[in-house]
Structure 1
Amino acid sequence: MKWSESFAPMRERNFRWYFLSRTVNMTGGAMAAVALAFAVLEVSSSPSALGTVLAAHSIPMVVFLLAGGVIADRFGRKLVIQVSNVASGLSQLAIAGLVLGGHAQLWQIVVLSAVNGVVMAVSFPALVSVLPQLVPRHQLQPANVLMAMVRNSLTIVGPSVAGLLVVTAGAGWALAVDGISYLVAALLLLRVTLPPPSRQEKSSVVTDLREGWTYFRSTTWLWAVVLAFCLICAIHQGGYFTLGPVLAKQGDIGESGWGLILSAEAVGLLVTTLVMLRVSLQRPLFWGMIGTAAYGLPLIALGADGHLVTVVVASFLAGVGIEVFGLGWNLAMQENVPEDMLSRAFSYDAFGSFMAVPIGQLVAGPLALAFGIERVILVAGIALMAVALLTLLSRAVRDLPRVSTVEPATTTPAGAPGTA
């Protein structure tokens, strides 16, 4: 791709305003995790307090994901995103106000975090499915890459800025910035004009969910990749994010070294977005699953080697791989799934991918005690790579083509590209 093609989505008015809205939104969101962690620690020093707050956010998010897909397809993605931004902004400002006022109690933060989890579940399918309505199909790759470039840049600098803001002004003010960013993003979305939802007929939520499930199970490449990621996410969350910090603290890597490892992955994500501005990604799921296999490299490096430099390099390569998958998956979904089914397809994708994460987190510790932490992490890395590569045995996955020049498909599961 030429540079003019890479930035062509910016010539689309709707995309420009959406890009600006999401940039503001993601700027606040990049600081939210750090700010919330320290806000909870101001309220309670209990080691389980933060886990309770995070669970209060993640459990409702998983539970309501499928409903989010139905809502987005039925009421329109712009409206869903706007309402969600306002709700998230107000709930974050409520937490900020409680913390700044010195009156915050743990149960209050838990309740407001649960509200945020529900809102995220409703907004997520709309956010990941709206791009085909903002740019022509042949601009979907650069549009996805531009959004990823902002997100990955903020992933690198956001936590540092949040930490500085927490130290100088307090966790409450950092949360207030996040809350305000949601409201500003909602205002910017007012400049985006989208056609009304194509689903004009009235049907029940159950009927909509059943239609989504029928499409999901009849589309081979879709359910095959989601099934793989059900296992991959559980393995990675358990092996990497649950046991990784423990091994780092026990060994020579240390807390600062673990920070470098995570930063290396973020750098890999960002570098890949810059490359993909110029390189057209063909066979998106073939290269995507190859990239996903690289996600196992840091686990293997931790379990087999444990030297900081080796793990940092492996983490950088994992960032490269997972960004290739992220782009390939978005293109596969946005180009192959019918527009009026897209939000529901993304909701089934997210639900299937996230549902086993708590299992991975819960069994990682007992397995490490029984077999040794290094051995469990090493086996997890090998298993992750094996699952990713075995998915390519499906012809529907490895041969799925780009269809960026084709008009949007109609909602006929048996006729959609890549279906059984």
Structure 2
Amino acid sequence: MSTTRSALSSRNYLTYLTGSTLSLLGLWIYRVALAWYAWELSRSELWVGIVAATQFAPAVIFGPVFGVLADRLDRKRTSILINSLSSVNMVLLGALTAAGHIDIHSLVVLSLVQGVLDGGHAPVRMSIVPNLVAREQLQSAIALTSVAFNLSRFIGPAIAGVLIAAFGVATAFVVNGVSYLALIGVMIVVNIRPRTRSERGRKHPWNELMDGARYAFSHRAIRGLLIVSALASVCGRGALEMLPVFADDIFSGGASALAILTSAVGAGAVIGGLALSRGHDWLTTRIIRYALSTAGILVILLGVMPNFAGAVSVVALLGITLSLCGIGAQILIQSLVDDEVRGRVSSFWGMIAFGGTSLGSLLVGTAASAWNLQSAVIAAGGICVLATWLSGRTRS
């Protein structure tokens, strides 16, 4: 019988979840607006892939460093600082867009700045949640946080579609900038449980980084979960970053079609997250691998799908399976990791999960420019299925 308790019984966590959800709505409004604006400015699958890559590449390049900082610095103050800088960056992007001073190159620069800020905040955010609740509420808290993320993915694109159609992308960028204020506000008032780490004997940052790497990759279960996360990100979420091209070039639906597709992914992810929030006695690495194989098959189906309604159904199912891979892996990792290295291990997960999406979107975008979008997506799905099968045989 599951010993999981709902994190919603914690007023501290509920306060955090409320502010975080409002901020996440802004994030998804931004992501849809950014992808659409990149396509609008360039009409190039390659540039769409590059802009998508800027959102996640910093997590790959600087992720371990961000993780060390998350374990060394005060997480509350760090979160407030990063979110304040993110708000300023988004308002600047919105103002420059409204003034007509943005081209595809400057868009890449400002989205890269935001990618650095998001990459720095990722291990801080993942380390904060376990320190807001009791241990028996941890699984519920991680799953509910992910539900909020994906519920925002469901609602945010719909809001983005309305904002873009009625007021333009500049307004969508500014709305995201304002949304950071909600998270800043709750971070000021929530109580974060002190870490168990002793300040005595602190090592050089490089040594701490290497200690975190050795811990993560010598732990067989954590290492396996990181590999699964990498495959899901590169092959699954990398293909989903091409949804702007599917919406406009394949199905000729424009920004409204993109909002529907992105919302369908979010709806599926919410279903997967809710399933995980009700208990994880059934959750194992094997189950996550089955979900990943299914995701690869669904990516192939997306590449061959001839009509928009079918594509909506496929990406909704992709939302479920990729959610089981991503949230499930994070739940198992957070339940295994020691608190004193939580920031560093979280940074490796973020580096792989978000950086894999960056790499995947760049590879799919490049392949689509060389061949065509459907062929590139079919190849990504096939690689996902094959790599999952091979990694499973290696472990057996």
TM range (shorter): 0.7 to 0.9
Instruction: Tell me what 1:184 maps to.
Output: 182
- 8 Å contact from structure 2 (residues 38, 48) kept in 1: yes
Instruction: Tell me what 1:13 maps to.
Output: 11
- 8 Å contact from structure 2 (residues 291, 324) kept in 1: yes
User: Whole-Å Cα distance in 1 between the matches of residues 372 and 29 of structure 2?
Assistant: 35
Matched, 1:89 2:91: no
**Letter in structure 1 aligned against 2:125:** L
Cα deviation digits, residues 285-316 of structure 1 (max 9, x gap): 22222222221132222455645555444433
Q: Greater CA deviation, 21-30 or 106-115?
A: 106-115
Matched, 1:79 2:77: yes
Aligned in 2, Cα 1:385/1:57: closer, same or farther, shift over 3 Å? Answer: closer
Task: Describe how 1:190-269 pairs up with structure 2 within 5 A.
Answer: 190-197=188-195, 198-201=197-200, 202-236=202-236, 239=239, 241-242=241-242, 253-255=251-253, 261-269=261-269
Q: CA deviation at 1:24?
A: 1.8
Q: Greater CA deviation, 334-343 or 179-188?
A: 179-188
Instruction: Tell me what 1:122 maps to.
Output: 120
Task: Describe how 1:305-344 pairs up with structure 2 within 5 A.
Answer: 306=306, 310-344=310-344
Cα deviation digits, residues 154-200 of structure 1 (max 9, x gap): 21221121222233334333222211211231122111122444241
- 8 Å contact from structure 1 (residues 225, 391) kept in 2: no
- 8 Å contact from structure 2 (residues 158, 263) kept in 1: no
User: What SS does the aligned partner of 1:130 have?
Assistant: helix
Aligned in 2, Cα 1:316/1:139: closer, same or farther, shift over 3 Å? Answer: same
**Letter in structure 1 aligned against 2:349:** D
Which of 101, 104, 113 does residue 104 from structure 1 map onto?
A: 101
**Letter in structure 1 aligned against 2:270:** L
**Letter in structure 1 aligned against 2:328:** G
TM-score by length of 1: 0.79
Aligned in 2, Cα 1:322/1:239: closer, same or farther, shift over 3 Å? Answer: closer
- 8 Å contact from structure 1 (residues 74, 199) kept in 2: no
User: Whole-Å Cα distance in 1 between the matches of residues 367 and 96 of structure 2?
Assistant: 40
Aligned in 2, Cα 1:17/1:232: closer, same or farther, shift over 3 Å? Answer: closer
Q: CA deviation at 1:254?
A: 4.7
Cα deviation digits, residues 54-104 of structure 1 (max 9, x gap): 55444334322111111111113322222211111121122223334x263
Larger Rg over CA atoms: 1
Q: CA deviation at 1:16?
A: 1.8
**Letter in structure 1 aligned against 2:143:** V
User: What SS does the aligned partner of 1:104 have?
Assistant: coil
Task: Describe how 1:149-168 pairs up with structure 2 within 5 A.
Answer: 149-168=147-166
- 8 Å contact from structure 2 (residues 87, 181) kept in 1: yes
Aligned in 2, Cα 1:111/1:293: closer, same or farther, shift over 3 Å? Answer: same
Gaps of 5+ in 2: none
Which of 44, 59, 62 does residue 60 from structure 2 map onto?
A: 62
User: Whole-Å Cα distance in 1 between the matches of residues 374 and 354 of structure 2?
Assistant: 25
**Letter in structure 2 aligned against 1:323:** S
Q: Greater CA deviation, 366-375 or 195-204?
A: 366-375
Aligned in 2, Cα 1:163/1:352: closer, same or farther, shift over 3 Å? Answer: closer
Q: CA deviation at 1:369?
A: 8.1
User: Whole-Å Cα distance in 2 between the matches of residues 234 and 146 of structure 1?
Assistant: 24
**Letter in structure 1 aligned against 2:190:** V
> Identical aligned pairs, as a percentage?
25
Matched, 1:137 2:135: yes
Aligned in 2, Cα 1:59/1:137: closer, same or farther, shift over 3 Å? Answer: same
- 8 Å contact from structure 2 (residues 57, 359) kept in 1: no
Aligned in 2, Cα 1:369/1:59: closer, same or farther, shift over 3 Å? Answer: closer
Q: CA deviation at 1:124?
A: 0.3
Instruction: Tell me what 1:404 maps to.
Output: none
**Letter in structure 1 aligned against 2:25:** T
Instruction: Tell me what 1:32 maps to.
Output: 30
User: Whole-Å Cα distance in 1 between the matches of residues 378 and 258 of structure 2?
Assistant: 17
Aligned in 2, Cα 1:343/1:117: closer, same or farther, shift over 3 Å? Answer: same
Instruction: Tell me what 2:272 maps to.
Output: 272
Q: CA deviation at 1:361?
A: 4.3
- 8 Å contact from structure 1 (residues 221, 394) kept in 2: no
TM-score by length of 2: 0.83
- Greater relative contact order (CA < 8 Å, ≥ 6 in sequence): 2
User: Whole-Å Cα distance in 1 between the matches of residues 42 and 363 of structure 2?
Assistant: 25
User: Whole-Å Cα distance in 1 between the matches of residues 291 and 198 of structure 2?
Assistant: 36
**Letter in structure 1 aligned against 2:219:** T
Aligned in 2, Cα 1:268/1:281: closer, same or farther, shift over 3 Å? Answer: farther
Aligned in 2, Cα 1:313/1:97: closer, same or farther, shift over 3 Å? Answer: closer
Aligned in 2, Cα 1:39/1:19: closer, same or farther, shift over 3 Å? Answer: same
User: Whole-Å Cα distance in 1 between the matches of residues 50 and 365 of structure 2?
Assistant: 18
User: Whole-Å Cα distance in 2 between the matches of residues 103 and 247 of structure 1?
Assistant: 27
Aligned in 2, Cα 1:9/1:349: closer, same or farther, shift over 3 Å? Answer: closer
Instruction: Tell me what 2:387 maps to.
Output: 387
- 8 Å contact from structure 2 (residues 161, 259) kept in 1: no
